[in-house]
């Protein structure tokens, strides 16, 4: 049983790596089997079809993101620090991510896309909302903002770089684009006290000390 579990983990890890790098549609089950060094028969022993593998891989990615967000909250000194910590892993992931990833998932793998939407609309929305409320309570974010609206705007901004027509118009990479959107969002809701902290954590991030 341990061997079966290990093989399934290896399959998902390699599939994740290939999907992130090349997108989902262009990676075949043959590609995944060859990259792991197993037979296609062994691959199908664990996953009956590519759609199931894509959905399972996305679920694993979302669980990892959930755990990282929770760890960021436990470690954070304040709401702004939490935001920087929570986006750290995302920024690293974006450096390796093909911008067609979300488009492929939405168009060709609806089961996986539904998992992504549920995660975004449930866990991620609530995580961001509670972070904004924490920042308001501590005087780091403005009291006059519409928390529901701002939380929803932040959620939707995460998907913006993956919109192909938008990405094609900007001369930058996904990681830089996500970083710019993140910083603009924080400055847009911060008080003078919050802005000082944003600048502090930006400087620390530049020195890899966040």
- The C-alpha atoms of residue 29 and residue 200 are separated, in whole angstroms, by 46
Per-residue pLDDT of 113-163, as tens digits, reads 999 999 999 999 999 999 999 999 999 999 999 999 999 999 999 888 888
Q: pLDDT confidence of 1, banded at 50, 70, 90?
A: very low
3-state secondary structure of 141: strand
Give the C-alpha distances (Å, rounded to integers) separating 100 from 6, 71, 94, 163, 180.
Answer: 29, 29, 12, 8, 20
CA angle 156, 147, 130 (to 5 degrees): 85
What average pLDDT does the segment 55-69 reach?
94
Tokens of 78: 């304040």
Rounded (5°) CA angle 111-105-63: 65
User: In this predicted model, what pLDDT tens digit does every residue of 84-113 receive, in sequence order?
Assistant: 999 987 777 888 899 899 999 999 999 999
What pTM was estimated for this model as a whole?
A: 0.89
Query: Looking at the predicted structure, is the pLDDT value of residue 188 above 50?
Result: yes
């Amino acid at each position: 049983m341990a061997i079966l579990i290990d093989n399934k983990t290896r399959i998902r890890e390699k599939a994740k790596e290939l999907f992130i790098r090349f997108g989902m549609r262009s990676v075949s089950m043959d590609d995944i089997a060859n990259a792991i060094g197993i037979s296609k028969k062994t691959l199908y022993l664990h996953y009956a079809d590519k759609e199931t593998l894509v959905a399972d891989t996305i679920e694993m990615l979302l669980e990892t993101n959930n755990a990282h967000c929770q760890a960021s909250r436990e470690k954070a000194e304040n709401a702004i620090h939490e935001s920087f910590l929570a986006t750290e892993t995302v920024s690293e992931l974006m450096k390796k991510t093909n911008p067609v990833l979300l488009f492929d998932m939405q168009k060709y793998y609806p089961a996986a896309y539904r998992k992504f939407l549920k995660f975004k609309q449930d866990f991620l929305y609530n995580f961001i909302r509670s972070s904004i409320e924490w920042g308001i309570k501590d005087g780091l974010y403005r009291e006059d903002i519409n928390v529901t609206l701002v939380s929803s705007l932040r959620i939707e901004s995460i998907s913006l770089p993956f919109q192909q027509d938008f990405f094609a118009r900007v001369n930058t990479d996904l990681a830089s684009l996500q970083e710019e959107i993140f910083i603009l969002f924080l400055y847009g809701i911060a008080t003078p006290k919050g802005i000082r902290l944003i600048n502090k954590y930006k400087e620390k991030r530049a020195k890899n000390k966040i």
